[in-house]
Amino acid sequence: MSNSAVKVFEALKWASSFLKENDRDANAGEILLQHFLKQTRSQMLANLHDELSDADFGQFKDAIELHAEGTPIQYIIGSEEFYGRTFFVNEEVLIPRPETEELIYYTLRKLPAIFMEGRKLRLADIGTGSGAIAITMKLEKSNLMVTATDIAEPSLEVARKNAESLGAEVEFMQGDLLSPFMNMNEKVDILLSNPPYIPEDDHKSMSVVVTGHEPHRALFAGIDGLDFYRRFMEQLPLVMKVPGLIGFEVGAGQGAAVADLLKRTFPAAEVSIINDINEKDRMVFAELK
């Protein structure tokens, strides 16, 4: 498609057809054009007959071609919405998912029944990536003392940038799983994590939009996807306070296995599996008594 005086509706029509041909979501064109025009969807739809500048159409066309090749929209525009806030993302971090918003929602609901009102609580977010869990928890419940860890310094750079731009006071530490807390002999009241949980073999059937761009260290976890949960069980008794709360995001179908690991590690705990909005087992909580 040439750049000469292309109208908004023509650009969208071309993008929709081009993306369909390449087995991508045809609606991605709307999201990308809104981004380049800095307009809301309703503004853009009210201006369908406006002509695009050469610069805007050039950027848009490049972005559509990138997405057709497999680059996620969020990496192209550099951000994703999470719990009503905009988080910066790049290829060093997993794109925050709506399912993880539910982990936060249920955690916030559980806290009053476990901990005394007004008590200073220490929360750890393990494998923080973009910082979405840690930052959101701090902004939703300001009296929490929040520490986020990640094994990868480039991921922590993204998380720090998000904490700064969103005004969240979060401590970031580099390290493997719970080792930063164990090394300092520190304990926490609440531990949340969305660890890698995809079985290695699933790689073959997954979209290149995910496998070709999102960091594999944040996706895959051994033959059955449970490697990280098993490692957590070795370390959790050394860092959890009682009363305490552990909350994991899990892959669909993994709820029972992760719940069993938690029950064996903490026999006195109240362990629950919660389904997400799509009725898939997605969260496992352990309330330590």
Name the one residue in this structure whose structure tokens are 């069980």.
233
Distance between CA atoms of 212 and 75, rounded to whole angstroms? 12
The reply, when asked if residue 150 is annotated as ligand binding, is yes
CA distance between the termini of the chain: 64
The reply, when asked if residue 127 is annotated as ligand binding, is yes
Distance between CA atoms of 184 and 196, rounded to whole angstroms? 25
CB atoms within 10 A of CB 20: 12
- Give the rounded distance of the alpha carbon of 58 from its chain centre: 30
The reply, when asked if residue 118 is annotated as ligand binding, is no
CB atoms within 10 A of CB 208: 11
The reply, when asked if residue 129 is annotated as ligand binding, is yes
Distance between CA atoms of 143 and 268, rounded to whole angstroms? 28
The reply, when asked if residue 244 is annotated as ligand binding, is no
Distance between CA atoms of 229 and 239, rounded to whole angstroms? 15
The reply, when asked if residue 196 is annotated as ligand binding, is yes
Distance between CA atoms of 173 and 163, rounded to whole angstroms? 13
Name the one residue in this structure whose structure tokens are 């929209």.
73
Angle between helices 227-239 and 255-265 (to 10 degrees): 30
The reply, when asked if residue 194 is annotated as ligand binding, is yes
The reply, when asked if residue 195 is annotated as ligand binding, is yes
What stretch of H or E contains 232? helix 227-239
CB atoms within 10 A of CB 159: 28
Residues making up the annotated binding site for S-adenosyl-L-methionine are: 127-131, 150, 194
Residues making up the annotated binding site for substrate are: 194-197
Residues making up the annotated binding site are: 127-131, 150, 194-197
